[in-house]
Structure 1
Amino acid sequence: MTLLREELGEVLREARTSQGRTLRQVSSAASISLGYLSEIERGEKEASSELLASVCGALGVPLSGVLAEVSGRLAVAESASAPVVLPVVTDRVSASAA
């Protein structure tokens, strides 16, 4: 199972490393501890929306773009696992007759 915090951490790390920036540089710009940012990037900590906004601001990337990337990755991971498809009942009369 893919966890949201793990995908989010990967997306943030990729954004940081693609800019050639260190954890120290981004943590300082975001006003959070280097250790905490590292834990977020490794998917070990759940970050608050305020903290995510601060990290995204420090990286110069929109939070919406980060979340869209995470959403896309989760969708791919979900489609790769064989989900159980449950029947959808569209008519209550049919459901009670069954």
Structure 2
Amino acid sequence: MATMRQLVGEVLRAHRAEQGLTLRAVSGRARVSLGYISEIERGQKEPSSELLAALAEALDVPLSSVLRDVADQMELHELATQQVAPAPLASVSSIAVDGVRASAA
């Protein structure tokens, strides 16, 4: 089973590679050491939420997109190992975001 930090690293690396950016370029944009970003991409370190936001911004990708990609990859890994069946969206009754409730259809 893949860990969350491994999937985060894979998604960040994929976005970086898709844009043809080097670790050095992302490092400069995010103001994070090249070595630390490398460790994150290899799944050796787990970024804080603030660092993840800085990396997403450096990659010019919405943080929500990064998180969605990680969730999609996690679901694929779960399905591949038959550990968790996907829950239908309708089973989520409501979600609160910044104090605002949004009901699922």
- Specify the TM-score bucket, using the shorter chain as the normaliser: 0.7 to 0.9
Q: For 2:38 and 2:51, locate their aligned partners in 1 and report how far apart those are by CA, in whole Å.
A: 13
Higher-Rg structure is: 1
Please give the TM-score of this superposition, normalised by the length of structure 2: 0.77
- Runs of 4+ aligned residues of structure 1 deviating over 4 Å after TM superposition are none
Q: For 2:37 and 2:13, locate their aligned partners in 1 and report how far apart those are by CA, in whole Å.
A: 9
Higher fraction of helix: 1
Residues 64-84 of structure 1, C-alpha deviations (whole Å, 9 max, x = no match): 100101101101111111338
2:2 maps to 2
Gaps spanning 5+ residues in structure 1: where?
86-98
Q: For 2:82 and 2:34, locate their aligned partners in 1 and report how far apart those are by CA, in whole Å.
A: 38
Q: For 2:84 and 2:32, locate their aligned partners in 1 and report how far apart those are by CA, in whole Å.
A: 41
Larger RCO (CA within 8 A; separation ≥ 6) = 1
Q: How many residues align?
A: 85
Note if 1:77 corresponds to 2:77: yes
Q: For 1:58 and 1:35, locate their aligned partners in 2 and report how far apart those are by CA, in whole Å.
A: 16
Q: For 2:6 and 2:62, locate their aligned partners in 1 and report how far apart those are by CA, in whole Å.
A: 19
Residues 27-54 of structure 1, C-alpha deviations (whole Å, 9 max, x = no match): 1100000000000000000100000000
Change (3 A) 1:70 1:84: closer
Note if 1:58 corresponds to 2:58: yes
Contact 2:78–2:84 (CA under 8 A) maintained in structure 1: no
- Seq. identity, %: 54
Please give the TM-score of this superposition, normalised by the length of structure 1: 0.82
Cα RMSD of the aligned pairs, angstroms, is 1.4
Q: Return the letter of the residue paired with 1:20.
A: G
2:19 maps to 19
Change (3 A) 1:15 1:84: closer
Q: Return the letter of the residue paired with 1:72.
A: D
